[in-house]
Structure 1
Amino acid sequence: MREHVRPAPDGEVETLVAFGADDVAWLVDLMGQDTVSPLEGGDPAGLARAQARFVEGAAERGFALRESSAPPASFLERPGVPAQVLDAVGAHGESFLRDQPSAVVALGAPQPPGRRLVFNFHMDTVGPHLPPLVENGVLHGRGAVDDKGPGVAALLGAAAAFAEDPFLAEEIEVLVTSVPGEEGGAMGVYGTRWVVESGWVGRLMVFAEPTGARVFDACSAAMTPRVTVRGLDSTDDHPYDGHNATLALSMAACRLTEVLGPMAERLGAKICLSGLHTGTSHNRVYGSGELRLNIAYYDVAAADELAAAVERVLPMVADEVARRFGSNPVARQLVRDWSQVVRLDWLKRGLPPLANRDETMERLLKDAGLPRHDAIGDGSAFTCDAIWAAGPGRYVVACGPGGLDTNGAHTAQEFVALRDLEEYAGRCRDLVRRFGAWARGTAGPA
């Protein structure tokens, strides 16, 4: 890691934190660790191995370990825990949470939250695992931009700031929190939520998610309703003896789209009609199946209205199927037993969206080259585990290099240019120094 100065495209001088060969090797090593979320079929123990390597590399760059821990099983008895998480705990047993620790490393003497700057990134990835490759200054592989690359860049930027200004160690504390449980629908409930409620919070909290180095201070939360059919199958020899799940779920999908689409548009929410499955054979009536939706929202009132609409729709579907197909032999068993075989449940619900503003911290971020962006206004805001970090005296933002779409996050083509990571590291260094100046009282009151 070293400072590197080069001309910017507009002719101004641009200062980066250039990655040394050892920094690139460390990042590549972290990316080589298979940390696919257990909710997407990954080995839970892979996360703990990666966290150990992260802590080791952070220590080599001057960071002290503040905490490495995972929540107790009772932590998941709280509201807002997605069903997928509970299913994973049930499948893997007591070792699941133990294998998913969060790591908190720090520079500077311990400080109260008001003099603390926190960078957060998630170590888990979507599947499948993709081994890293560095080619022509571009880093390819799982976690390149979402989210190991941005996390390492933020850490290197903070280390550069403390190296340039040793007095920062007496004035502020900078934490880097590496967490599990962001991907796969886990929503941060055993990672960021645990770290935040353990007290590892700060006056400014930056989640190093790919936003094009723009500050998003609003993040959507999401809820997932599921319509299931659990009835009897039948074959093409007796096709009318089964509960036709394909008919039930396709009717539900159409009516939910009809009702929720315009409502979500009015409320500023997003509806993803995501998955319908019964079976693939041409000569079988499937009596079981499920339909899932994902509903992203930016305020609780909108979520409540949309959830109530979902719950109104299913009885409407039952009535419509009975009215349209009550005398049709294909639907006979389904109509007769609808209330016994069709049900609605929620895989996740009640999660808090993030929306906050802070003039002082916005100015510090902007002066460090990280401008605020109205992500709700243009629809670029997304769901991430920053939703758990909001609280009095905190400004919580998502801000990192690259973009979810432009850099192929969640695809086999995920990549990030090392220069983009270096630029982000340079901005993080500048942000740390400006935060230190503000804490000393030279940048105005909080």
Structure 2
Amino acid sequence: MYPTDPVANLAALIACPSVTPQEAGSLTVLEQQLATLSFEVERPIFSEDGTPDVENLLARYGSAGPHLAFAGHTDVVPPGDLQDWRHPPFAAVVENGRLFGRGAVDMKGGIACFVAAVARLHQRNALPQGQISLLITGDEEGPSVNGTEKLLAYALAQGQQYDACLVGEPTNPDALGDMMKIGRRGSLSGVLTLTGRLGHVAYPHLASNPLRAVAAVLQALQQEPLDNGTPDFQPSNLEVTGIDTGNPAVNVIPARVKLAFNIRFNDVWNVASLKGEVQRRVSEALASSSISGDIAQNLEWRERAGEVFLTRDESLVQSLAGAIEQVTGRHPQLSTSGGTSDARFIKNYCPVVEFGLVGQTMHMANEYVALSDLETLTAIYETFITGWFATHA
């Protein structure tokens, strides 16, 4: 029996408590669904020191012709306090036209709909000539080290190359058809450590308080805009996310203070040029500080920086936008807003766009999806698959 019902597909996936990086049976469920559709499935496990091993899924239908990929993740964030849920988070309860469960919209729902779309085409003998692949990871909600990036390299090593990719992340703010993503801002995180000299507050002349330089540094980092935005992106933005001395005593001048920050940046910058700009601002601020000679600085870049990107493949963009408009009657906003996604890895291999469910309840208690949205998204994916292959015949 073909997995043509997105509600049943999703319920089976939600029932697997795949809190990142646990597979918890979710990939097994997906493999079983795809097996009925003649997909060849592999489940490579990737490892790296200091991170948990992660199981992934690579599935392919067809062996020649245009190649369309669908990417996503079956791992979910923890449900939090179970008392905040009206139904158990992995019970997949349907109530009043809604399916409740962790991962319902982020993003097991997108996977369930794509599988249903392919199954409906298969059932009607209407699958286009060509190749369809699924790249599904188990660590998108985690460190994103042993997932999509390594899965793409693994597929390439086997000779698989993709002409385009659709990521099924929830992209719509209010209703299906509102928004699709055609790019993402870059992300750069850092920690600036200013080191002075520990001392007693009653004898400040014997110490050097690094907090006295913080105001100048904060002003330099945040007062002047990084840019004014571009036609495709909003202005770049730096947010200080933490200031910490590690000093619990009120009568001790701290030896050091750490400032953590994150920058979401547009295509005015790349990672290298932005690092240079931040360093310039910090150094100039310290040089102008009255106690700069007694303060040492160390700028450490954290996490894995993500470069900004914009998809310029009009065939891909218009195929998806056209499918959305045909099914919903809405012309989607072509957006580059929001956070990062695994599209930042995929764009190095092929053009990539993102479209999925409404994201209002993602990561929240009582995460849910409307059953009608599952049906609509399945229809959009089905129309998109047919339309994209028609332009590549």
**Aligning the two structures, in what range does the TM-score lie when normalised by the shorter sequence?**
0.7 to 0.9
| Residues 208 and 398, structure 1, Cα contact 8 Å, conserved in 2 | yes
1:110-159, CA deviations, whole angstroms, 9 ceiling, x for partnerless residues? 235xx121111123334455724533232344322222222222222222
Query: Which residue of 31, 35, 39 corresponds with 1:64?
Result: 39
Query: Which residue of 434, 437, 446 corresponds with 2:387?
Result: 434
Q: Look up the SS of the partner of 1:228 in the other structure.
A: strand
- Please tell me the residue identity of whatever aligns with 1:296: R
Q: Distance in 2 between matches of 1:432 and 1:121?
A: 16
Partner in structure 2 of residue 291 of structure 1 = 259
Partner in structure 1 of residue 306 of structure 2 = 351
| Residues 73 and 108, structure 2, Cα contact 8 Å, conserved in 1 | yes
The answer as to 2:102 corresponding to 1:142 is: yes
Q: Distance in 2 between matches of 1:173 and 1:408?
A: 33
Q: Distance in 2 between matches of 1:194 and 1:111?
A: 23
The answer as to 2:136 corresponding to 1:178 is: yes
Query: Which residue of 180, 192, 199 corresponds with 1:215?
Result: 180
Query: Which residue of 315, 318, 341 corresponds with 2:283?
Result: 315
| Residues 249 and 276, structure 1, Cα contact 8 Å, conserved in 2 | no
Residues 166/375 of structure 1: CA separation in 2 closer, same or farther (3 Å cut): closer
The answer as to 2:58 corresponding to 1:104 is: yes
| Residues 109 and 173, structure 1, Cα contact 8 Å, conserved in 2 | yes
1:181-228, CA deviations, whole angstroms, 9 ceiling, x for partnerless residues? 4335x4x45322222223254222101111224332111221112112
Q: Look up the SS of the partner of 2:335 in the other structure.
A: coil
- Please tell me the residue identity of whatever aligns with 2:30: F
CA-CA distance at 1:103 after TM superposition:
0.7
| Residues 10 and 109, structure 2, Cα contact 8 Å, conserved in 1 | no
Partner in structure 2 of residue 54 of structure 1 = 30
| Residues 299 and 353, structure 1, Cα contact 8 Å, conserved in 2 | yes
| Residues 362 and 372, structure 1, Cα contact 8 Å, conserved in 2 | no
Q: Distance in 2 between matches of 1:336 and 1:420?
A: 61
Q: Distance in 1 between matches of 2:57 and 2:23?
A: 11
CA-CA distance at 1:231 after TM superposition:
6.6
Q: Look up the SS of the partner of 2:58 in the other structure.
A: strand
- Please tell me the residue identity of whatever aligns with 2:226: M
Q: TM-score scaled to structure 2, two decimals?
A: 0.78
| Residues 188 and 306, structure 2, Cα contact 8 Å, conserved in 1 | yes
Query: Which residue of 206, 219, 244 corresponds with 1:254?
Result: 219
The answer as to 2:353 corresponding to 1:397 is: yes
Give ranges in structure 2 of 5+ residues lacking alignment. 83-88, 326-330
Query: Which residue of 340, 343, 348 corresponds with 1:386?
Result: 343
Over the matched positions of the two proteins, sequence identity in percent amounts to 24
Partner in structure 1 of residue 12 of structure 2 = 26
Q: Look up the SS of the partner of 1:263 in the other structure.
A: coil
- Please tell me the residue identity of whatever aligns with 2:377: Y
1:80-123, CA deviations, whole angstroms, 9 ceiling, x for partnerless residues? xxxxxxxxx43x5xxx2xx21221123x32235xx121111123
Q: Distance in 1 between matches of 2:169 and 2:71?
A: 9
Residues 426/201 of structure 1: CA separation in 2 closer, same or farther (3 Å cut): farther
- Please tell me the residue identity of whatever aligns with 2:14: V
Partner in structure 2 of residue 273 of structure 1 = 240
1:321-360, CA deviations, whole angstroms, 9 ceiling, x for partnerless residues? 4x1xx4xxxxxxxx66422xx3111114663322122233
| Residues 48 and 101, structure 1, Cα contact 8 Å, conserved in 2 | no
Query: Which residue of 57, 71, 74 corresponds with 1:123?
Result: 74
- Please tell me the residue identity of whatever aligns with 1:219: R
- Please tell me the residue identity of whatever aligns with 2:344: I
Alignment length (residue pairs) = 365
Partner in structure 1 of residue 114 of structure 2 = 154
The answer as to 2:194 corresponding to 1:225 is: no
| Residues 10 and 104, structure 2, Cα contact 8 Å, conserved in 1 | no
1:15-71, CA deviations, whole angstroms, 9 ceiling, x for partnerless residues? xx6535x434303213x3222xxxxxxxx4x14754344334443x43534322244
Partner in structure 2 of residue 409 of structure 1 = 362
CA-CA distance at 1:282 after TM superposition:
6.0
| Residues 219 and 382, structure 1, Cα contact 8 Å, conserved in 2 | yes
Q: Look up the SS of the partner of 2:264 in the other structure.
A: strand
Q: Look up the SS of the partner of 2:219 in the other structure.
A: helix
- Please tell me the residue identity of whatever aligns with 1:399: F
| Residues 121 and 208, structure 1, Cα contact 8 Å, conserved in 2 | yes
Q: Distance in 1 between matches of 2:223 and 2:29?
A: 50
| Residues 155 and 176, structure 1, Cα contact 8 Å, conserved in 2 | no
Higher relative helix content? 1
Q: Distance in 1 between matches of 2:190 and 2:279?
A: 9
Aligned counterparts, 1:327-338, within 5 A: 337-338=294-295
Q: Distance in 2 between matches of 1:143 and 1:356?
A: 27
